[in-house]
A and B are shown apart, each in its own frame.
Chain A
Amino acid sequence: EADIYQTPRYLVIGTGKKITLECSQTMGHDKMYWYQQDPGMELHLIHYSYGVNSTEKGDLSSESTVSRIRTEHFPLTLESARPSHTSQYLCASSEFAGNTEAFFGQGTRLTVV
């Protein structure tokens, strides 16, 4: 079982609220990712990081922001949640070296009402 954790698992929040989705891994992985997935749909890469103080935007434009102050922690923040942000958010990590698998957390299902 992968040592990567996301909290909360489920979140229902009102429009305009600021939220932070947590992602932590204990594997010492340098690379971390955030994906957005609507039910039954493909995964879209929204943010990734190569290591501490490194963050990059993914293929899908997102109003969220991320930070990487510690290797093990890669939180995602929405300053003002909107109903269009309703989705599942998946965090993953992998080693820096090439040709290695990614490990996923269980996801956070966000509903903005």
Chain B
Amino acid sequence: SQQGEEDPQALSIQEGENATMNCSYKTSINNLQWYRQNSGRGLVHLILIRSNEREKHSGRLRVTLDTSKKSSSLLITASRAADTASYFCATDFIERPNFGNEKLTFGTGTRLTIIP
């Protein structure tokens, strides 16, 4: 399976602290994406990092990608209660580079709880 695995499965931190989630995957990818899901609703895209990129920032989010270790991390700085959600990484296969998102497969998710 191409699915990634997030670590930890669940994380609880105090508001204002930083939250770090990790994702590992199995084979070569075109890109890796992070998504957020609130209370079992639809997923919302957070950030995409291409296979030739090592780090990317978006607001309070910082994503790193290590293709040699087949792993990625998502850092949320200065967490807020509204960040409470499940976070998923998703990988896009590299088999047909020009197609993209051919089989966008998701990991197991990290459930993040921010304690006010």
A105 touches B42 (CB 8 A): yes
Complex interface bits, B48-92 against A, C-beta within 8 A gives 1, otherwise 0 = 101000000000000000000000000000000000001010101
Residue from A59, A88, A90, A98 within 8 A of B103 (CB atoms): A59
B50 touches A99 (CB 8 A): yes
From 84 to 116 in chain B, residues with beta carbon under 8 angstroms from any chain A beta carbon are: 86, 88, 90, 92, 97-109, 111
CA distance A48 to B102 in the complex (A): 8
A45 touches B100 (CB 8 A): no
Chain B interface residue count, Cβ-Cβ cutoff 8 angstroms: 33
Residue from A59, A94, A109 within 8 A of B2 (CB atoms): A59
CA distance A99 to B25 in the complex (A): 17
A-B interface contact total, Cβ < 8 Å? 84
A98 touches B99 (CB 8 A): yes
Interface segment, one of A12-20, A36-44, A66-74: A36-44
Q: How far does the Cβ of A101 sit from chain B's closest Cβ, in whole Å?
A: 4
Q: How far does the Cβ of B67 sit from chain A's closest Cβ, in whole Å?
A: 15
A99 touches B48 (CB 8 A): yes
What B residues does A105 contact at CB under 8 A? 42
Of the listed residues B1, B98, B104, B109, the one surrounded by the most CB atoms of chain A closer than 10 A to its CB is B104
B100 touches A97 (CB 8 A): yes
A99-B100, A101-B48 given; A107·B109 CB < 8 A: no
A100 touches B42 (CB 8 A): no
Q: What are 5 A-B pairs at a CB distance below 8 A?
A: A41-B109, A43-B88, A45-B106, A59-B103, A106-B42
